[in-house]
Structure formats: structure tokens, C-alpha cells
Structure 1
Amino acid sequence: MSAGLAARQAELVAALVAGGPLPAGFDAVRVEAARRALLRKRAGEAAKAWPVLAAALGPDWVPAFAADRAGTEPAGGLRDGWDLARNLRRRAELPGAAAVELAAREAELRYDGRSAPRPRALAPLRRTISGLRRRR
């Protein structure tokens, strides 16, 4: 592959998923349609990782996701949904059930907003203690 072609492909990808400018020679309407379709696909992936958040937002799920994640590179459903949930919480717009889902994730995993979430050291112990308390 030539360096020129690789550069044009990178420009197109940036326009589709990272808010980059429209590369010369591409139809703006078609690129915008593809960008919206990719955001809907990302919203579907995030909904699988964040089912309570998606259900709590109901018909506003895809528009809220698209508004929040447009112009950001895909980070995977778990991270995209987590970033959305944190942004909604910061704006005091996170529904109650989704706040519980976010709190449970934050108890289990450590996520700094940049790198992949990692298990917290004491999370397995907390689950065991919680399970023992429920058995009483």
C-alpha cells in the first residue's frame, strides 16, 4: 500500500470516528451517514456492557450516546459506556438505576478514563463477604 493511500485512509477513519475533517474527494452526506451508523453501532455495543444505563435512558439512549461520544475514538463498549455514565453523573443527569450500575462497576474495576479497566484488588473479597451476608 502506498504512503499516500494509507494517509487518505487514516484521514477518512479520523473523519468517521474521531471528529476529523472531511478528506478531500469524499461525499460529505455519505461520510456523515456512515459516521452516524458507526455511532449507532457503538451505542449497541455499549448497551450490551451497560444494560441498566441503556434501559434507564430508553429512547434517549442512542441520541445521548451519540452526543457524548461523537468525535471520540472508539474505546470499546465497556469504556464508551463508562465514560458516558460518568459524564451524565457529572451533569447530574444519571438515572438512579444507572447510578447503581456505575457504582457497582467502580467497586469492581479501576478505570482512569484512559487505559483499560483493571480489577480492584479487594473486589473478589467484597463479593464473597456480600454473598455470605445474604445467606444469613
Structure 2
Amino acid sequence: MTGSDLAARQAALVAALVAAGPLPPGFTAGPVDAARRALLRKRGGEVARHWPLLAAGLGPDWPAVFADWAAGRPGSGGLRDGWDLARALRDRGVLPPVAAEELALREATVHYDGRRHPRPRRLPAVRRAGGAVAVQLAGRVRLLRPARR
């Protein structure tokens, strides 16, 4: 086996594990599926460290909600994955109130367009998420209206 063959097989295995790619030849579905689920749990834990109120707001549903959302999506890191998930839940109208506050505060202080790495905002900003309104002025952030609980 050449180096390029090995690299292609490794890429196919990674795609099957993290991006819902087809099962590569020579691998059994059971162990690959178990490894995929374990990687999703680990990734969900990393997201929960960056977005604790999102995870807490979803409570016991957190692992399933995250796994459903993340299945088939390559990871972007805990901060960005959590941000993308929070926005997706907000857009569907199912973002828990405490997570709406977390999202509004984060979006008032940091700019994230969904493609590039987040970066601090320099100008004043007002952001709203699920009933929560956050204002950032001169580097200070205030939650003007908490989300309804």
C-alpha cells in the first residue's frame, strides 16, 4: 500500500466517523458506529464547556439535541459548534431562555459570521436572541431584557 492509498483510506474513515461519510471498505459498521457516537459525545462535552447555559438549558435532552444537530457536520471547535447550534435552535424557536441570554451576550461582544473565527467587536452593538436583549458599549455588556422563563 502506498502512502497516498493509506491517506485516502484514512480520509474515508475520518469522513465516516465525523461527517456521515460512507463506511470505507474493510471496516465493520458496529465498531465504526460506536467510535462515531463516542466522538459525538466528546464533541458535545467540548461544546458544553464553551456554552454551559445552552447545555444546561436543554437539560437531559442536551446529548440527543447536540448529536442530532452535529451528525453529518464536521466539527468547527467547541465555541463555533455551540454558536451554530444556538443559532439553529433560535431560528427554530426552541432555544431555551437561559441559552438565549447566553447567545445575546456572546453576539453583543463578539462578531461571528458562521464562516470565520469569532473576533471581538470594536463598535457598540445591540443583539437580541429569543427575547433577550444585550447591549455592548465601550467594552461593557449589559443584559437589558432577560428572556422570559
TM-score computed with the length of structure 1 as normaliser: 0.90
CA deviation map 1:29-63 (0-9, x unaligned): 11011001000000000000000010010111111
> Percent identity at matched positions?
63
Cα distance in structure 1, aligned partners of 2:107 and 2:80? 12
Q: Does the CA contact (< 8 Å) of 2:108 and 2:141 recur in 1? A: no
Instruction: Work out whether 1:45 is the aligned partner of 2:46.
Output: yes
Higher relative helix content:
1
Q: CA deviation at 1:124?
A: 6.8
Note closer, same or farther for the CA distance 1:43–1:3 as it changes in structure 2 (3 Å cut). same
Structure 2 residue aligned with 1:82 = 83
Cα distance in structure 1, aligned partners of 2:32 and 2:102? 35
- 5 Å-filtered alignment, 1:93-104, equals 93-104=94-105
Note closer, same or farther for the CA distance 1:29–1:89 as it changes in structure 2 (3 Å cut). same
Structure 2 residue aligned with 1:21 = 22
Higher relative strand content:
2
Q: CA deviation at 1:129?
A: 8.5
Aligned amino acid, residue 92 of structure 1: G
Cα distance in structure 2, aligned partners of 1:42 and 1:59? 16
Cα distance in structure 1, aligned partners of 2:117 and 2:142? 26
Ranges in structure 1 where 5+ consecutive residues have no aligned partner: 131-136
- 5 Å-filtered alignment, 1:1-136, equals 2-122=3-123, 125-127=138-140
Compute the RMSD of aligned alpha carbons.
1.7
Runs of 4+ in 1 over 3 A off after TM superposition: none
Aligned amino acid, residue 51 of structure 2: W
Cα distance in structure 2, aligned partners of 1:129 and 1:92? 23
Cα distance in structure 2, aligned partners of 1:36 and 1:98? 25
Cα distance in structure 2, aligned partners of 1:26 and 1:97? 43
Higher relative contact order (CA 8 A, sep 6+): 1
Ranges in structure 2 where 5+ consecutive residues have no aligned partner: 124-135, 144-149
